[in-house]
Each structure stands twice: as structure tokens, then as C-alpha cells.
């Protein structure tokens, strides 16, 4: 709740200062929080507004990130076709930008959409790519999050045993690296067998 309050306060302050870019960045942060808290419709509105602002500014990296979050919000609402369009746009924008974190977000969101559309193999290949690159360059959060999604997809497919082992190991690794949210999501994935987004 503190993160939500801080993001709402940041948006209000940045609007008052008429800083459209910073306002849109705060909207993306609040959209991420809204998704984590199960408010996908709220996240959709925030991410869409931010994406429109970043498009107006021709800010490729921020546009990539906001469209990835928009794709996640749409997917959480079962709007598969719209989620596909948002994640496709996110991946296109990432090619014009430099932000690896935004590219990882877009690739993971796209993989989740592909999995929901029946493309488990393609989704796993995309996530393995994110995992390998994130591990190589030391982006621990993306390395762990990609492992989480791989494990969740495996649990929901023919690789159930492999997925359970992956999620159990991830739960321990995340906890030891102080990524408590990912550890909790791994535990939830083991208990429910559902995607964390």
C-alpha cells in the first residue's frame, strides 16, 4: 500500500509541475502496482495513458515499457487479441531503444501472451533467451522473473515435474537474494499452477 500511495502522490506532484514525461513514468509504476494488486482494469487505463504520452514524445524505451505493462493488464483481463497488439508494439519499440530492462519486460509480456494463445514452446524459447541474457549481464530481477515464468509455464504444460523443481529452487534463490515478491510468486505458482501475469 505504501508503494501505491507514493506513486499516486508522485503523479499528483508531477501533474502540478506539468511534467508530462515524469507523470507518464509514474503512471507506469502505478500500473505495475495495480497489476500486482489485481486491479488490471486500472492498470490498463494508466498504462494506456502513459503509452500515448510516450508515443507523442517519440520515447521508444518508455513506450516499450508502457506497452509491455499494457499488454500484461489486457492479458489479465482476458483480452488476448489486444494484449498481443500491445506486446507486439512494445517489441517493435524496443528495437528502436537502448533499455535492456524494457526489452526484457516486453519479451516476458509477449511470451505470456503467446503461452495463453497456445504457443507454449515459443513462449519458453523467448523466456529462456531472457534468462540467458539477464544472467549474462547481471540483471538479477529479470533473471529470476524469467525463471518464474518458465517454471509456471512448465507446471501448466507437459513438463509439470520440471516446472515444480524449477519453482522450488527459484523460491529458495529469490529468498536468499532478497527478492521476496518473486519468492512468494514462485510459492503461489507451486500451489495454484497459474501464471503470475
Q: What is the pLDDT of residue 1?
A: 58
Say how many CA atoms lie within 13 Å of 15 toward its Cβ: 9
Q: Is 194 exposed, middle or buried (0-12, 13-18, 19+ CB in 10 A)?
A: exposed
Quote the DSSP letter at residue 159. Answer: T
Class of domain 1-99: mainly alpha
DSSP state of 178: T
pLDDT tens-digit map of 121-175: 999 999 999 999 999 999 999 999 999 999 999 988 878 899 999 999 999 999 9
Contact 163, 124 (CB under 8 A): no
The larger pLDDT score, comparing residue 20 to residue 66, is at 66
pTM flag (> 0.85) = yes
User: Domain map of the chain by residue range?
Assistant: 1-99, 118-197
Q: Which residue has the higher pLDDT, 24 or 109?
A: 109
Amino acid at each position: 500500500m505504501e508503494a501505491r500511495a507514493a506513486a499516486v502522490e508522485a503523479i499528483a506532484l508531477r501533474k502540478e509541475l506539468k511534467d508530462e514525461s515524469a507523470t507518464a513514468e509514474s503512471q507506469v509504476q502505478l500500473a505495475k502496482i495495480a497489476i500486482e494488486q489485481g486491479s488490471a482494469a486500472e492498470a490498463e487505463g494508466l498504462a494506456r495513458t502513459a503509452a500515448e504520452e510516450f508515443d507523442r514524445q517519440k520515447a521508444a524505451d518508455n513506450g516499450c515499457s508502457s506497452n509491455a505493462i499494457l499488454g500484461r493488464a489486457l492479458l489479465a483481463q482476458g483480452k488476448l487479441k489486444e494484449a498481443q497488439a500491445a506486446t507486439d508494439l512494445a517489441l517493435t519499440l524496443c528495437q528502436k531503444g537502448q533499455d535492456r530492462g524494457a526489452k526484457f519486460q516486453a519479451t516476458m509480456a509477449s511470451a505470456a501472451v503467446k503461452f495463453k494463445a497456445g504457443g507454449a514452446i515459443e513462449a519458453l524459447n523467448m523466456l529462456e533467451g531472457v534468462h540467458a541474457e539477464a544472467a549474462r549481464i547481471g540483471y538479477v530481477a529479470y533473471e529470476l522473473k524469467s525463471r518464474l515464468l518458465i517454471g509456471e509455464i512448465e507446471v501448466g504444460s507437459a513438463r509439470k515435474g520440471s516446472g515444480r523443481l524449477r519453482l522450488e529452487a527459484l523460491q529458495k534463490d529469490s529468498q536468499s537474494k532478497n527478492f521476496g515478491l518473486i519468492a512468494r510468486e514462485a510459492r503461489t505458482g507451486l500451489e495454484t499452477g497459474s501464471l503470475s501475469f
